[in-house]
């Protein structure tokens, strides 16, 4: 299986200059052929394929005005053309938006598809030599490719794609249902115990600092060096917010994956929730990011990530008798079932129902059904992004059989 490790690299002054040139060449090739493809499509009704763009790029390098393109590695420029062709295919397949022109003031990236290796505490890249890197773990498999990215704050990172034969199997078998919310980020129920985790709200935490930096930016003259410095200061605050959120969600997802073999969650429409008056809190919570982290971490460890339908009435259904109370709205945090007189906490009741629905899905699914695979498609769907996270028995037949036996032993009807 393929695995990815993202590390921070520290190029010296000469390597940084060469790397910035490579990024500039790749950005120019992307913008040049994006514009050329658009013009050709308007004139003839057909765009340019990768082979056509690659042949044209070879002739473009021979021109005196574009000889500086030869300073970059040929494989990286060809990979840029492949990415551009994939972007057009994803657009026409309605899986992504129309490709945009790249800017040097935002995040940039370049991919080295070959000739990359590790040497001691460094990463060897074509035409750059050994770049100092901070590796968090040892890479034993073969390196397939390396993607080097530069953030808006001037930091460099390398995403190393390598082969890994080790599949870590989680020995503890527990099935938990989680309910996502804003007052409590997750409410976890494993059949016996329950607990909640509160959100950290990093956007509100650094709101005052971001306000001061943006006020300082607004007073700077456009095009001046002081304005560029102020832009970098604002970018650092946004980077701090992003890193705080990702660190928290990584730790939370790791805790959930270590404790459970099967996790059941709702298939939320985050894009639709972001259109409501709670949009800021929805984005700050990072629901989609948390579900993605749970999905790939469970897949690596041979677990299962199941998502129930977003229209399943988990909060309105009594987890004891199954009575559906349609009078509940978002303002009701606890309610009493009119049928069995059981007092329910809204989030805990939803977690119990989600877990029961996940057990039902697992018990009716059979090994080999592709509609429950966890790996998804190569790109995220814009209109229905959560479809890529539809999963279930996306593991080996032996492991899937063990899941089926354990699920059959615990019937949804026996749940509290």
pLDDT, tens digit only, all 416 positions of the chain: 788 889 999 999 999 999 999 999 999 999 999 999 999 999 988 889 999 999 999 999 999 999 999 989 999 999 999 999 999 999 999 989 999 999 888 889 999 998 899 887 889 999 899 999 988 888 888 899 999 999 989 899 999 999 887 666 655 688 899 999 888 899 999 888 899 999 999 999 999 999 999 999 999 999 899 999 999 999 999 999 999 999 999 999 999 999 888 999 998 888 888 888 888 999 999 999 999 999 989 888 888 899 998 888 888 888 888 888 888 887 888 888 888 888 888 888 889 899 988 888 888 864 333 334 333 334 444 444 444 444 444 444 444 444 554 555 554 444 43
Same domain, 235 and 325: yes
User: Is 166 designated active site?
Assistant: no
Residues 93 and 36 in one domain: yes
Q: Which of 190, 284, 299, 347 is catalytic?
A: 347
Which of 128, 163, 198 is the C-terminal boundary of a domain? Answer: 163
Task: Give the range of the structural domain holding residue 31, as residue numbers without chain letter.
Answer: 2-163
170 located within any domain: no
Task: Give the domain-ending residue among 133, 163, 193.
Answer: 163
pLDDT of residue 370: 30
179 included as an active-site residue: yes
Does residue 11 lie in a domain region? yes
Residue 366: name the closest of 315, 400, 338 by CA.
400
In a domain, 44, yes or no: yes
Q: How high is the pLDDT of residue 408?
A: 52
Among 135, 142, 175, smallest CA distance to 158 is for 135
Q: Cβ(163)–Cβ(1) under 8 Å?
A: yes
- Which is nearest to 71 in space by CA: 127, 146, 116, 114? 127
CA dihedral 40, 108, 88, 268 (to 10 degrees): -150
Residue 41: inside a domain? yes
What's residue 105's pLDDT? Answer: 83
Catalytic residue among 266, 284, 299, 357: 266
- Residue 355 and residue 353: Cα distance in Å, rounded? 5
Tokens representing 314? 């988990």
284 and 403 belong to one structural domain: yes
Residue identified by tokens 């906490």 is 345
Do the domain assignments include residue 168?
Answer: no
- Active site (annotated) includes residue 190: no
Domains identified in the chain, total number:
2
Which of 85, 179, 190, 299 is the catalytic position? 179
Q: Dihedrals φ, ψ of 283, to 5°?
A: -65, -35
Distance in angstroms (rounded) separating the CA atoms of residues 109 and 150: 6
Residue 365 lies in a domain: yes
């Amino acid at each position: 299986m393929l695995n990815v490790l993202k590390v921070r690299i520290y190029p010296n002054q000469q390597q940084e200059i060469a790397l910035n040139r490579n990024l500039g060449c790749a950005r120019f090739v992307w913008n040049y052929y994006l514009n050329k493809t658009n013009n050709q499509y308007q004139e003839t009704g057909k765009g340019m394929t990768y082979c056509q763009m690659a042949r044209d790029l070879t002739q473009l390098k021979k021109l005196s005005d574009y000889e500086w393109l030869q300073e970059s590695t040929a494989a990286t420029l060809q990979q840029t053309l492949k990415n551009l062709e994939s972007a057009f295919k994803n657009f026409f397949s309605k899986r992504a938006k129309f490709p945009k022109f790249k800017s040097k003031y935002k995040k940039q990236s370049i991919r080295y598809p070959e000739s990359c290796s590790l040497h001691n505490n460094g990463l060897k890249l074509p035409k750059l030599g050994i770049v100092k890197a901070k590796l968090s773990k040892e890479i034993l498999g073969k390196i397939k490719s390396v993607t080097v990215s530069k953030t808006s704050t001037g930091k460099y990172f390398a995403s190393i794609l390598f082969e890994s034969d080790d599949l870590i199997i989680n020995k503890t078998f527990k099935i938990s249902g989680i309910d996502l919310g804003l007052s409590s980020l997750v409410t976890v129920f494993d059949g016996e115990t329950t607990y909640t985790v509160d959100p950290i709200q990093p956007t509100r935490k650094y709101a005052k600092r971001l306000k001061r930096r943006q006020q300082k930016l607004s007073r700077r003259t456009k095009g001046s060096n002081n304005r560029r410095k102020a832009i970098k200061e604002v970018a650092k605050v946004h980077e701090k917010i992003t890193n705080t959120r990702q660190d928290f969600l990584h730790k939370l997802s790791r805790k959930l994956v270590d404790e459970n073999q099967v996790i059941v969650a709702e298939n939320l429409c985050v894009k639709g929730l972001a259109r409501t008056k709670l949009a800021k809190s929805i984005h700050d919570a990072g629901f989609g990011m948390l579900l993605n982290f749970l999905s790939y971490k469970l897949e690596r460890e041979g677990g299962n990530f199941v998502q129930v339908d977003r229209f399943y009435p988990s909060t309105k259904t009594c987890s004891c008798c199954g009575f559906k109370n349609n009078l509940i709205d978002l303002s009701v945090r606890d309610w009493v079932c009119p049928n069995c007189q059981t007092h329910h906490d809204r989030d805990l009741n939803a977690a119990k129902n989600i877990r029961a629905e996940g057990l039902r899905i697992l018990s009716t699914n059979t090994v080999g059904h592709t509609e429950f695979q966890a790996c998804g498609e190569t790109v995220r769907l814009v209109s229905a992004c959560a479809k890529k996270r539809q999963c279930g028995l996306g593991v080996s037949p032996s492991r899937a059989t063990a899941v089926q036996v354990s699920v059959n032993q615990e019937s949804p009807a026996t749940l509290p």
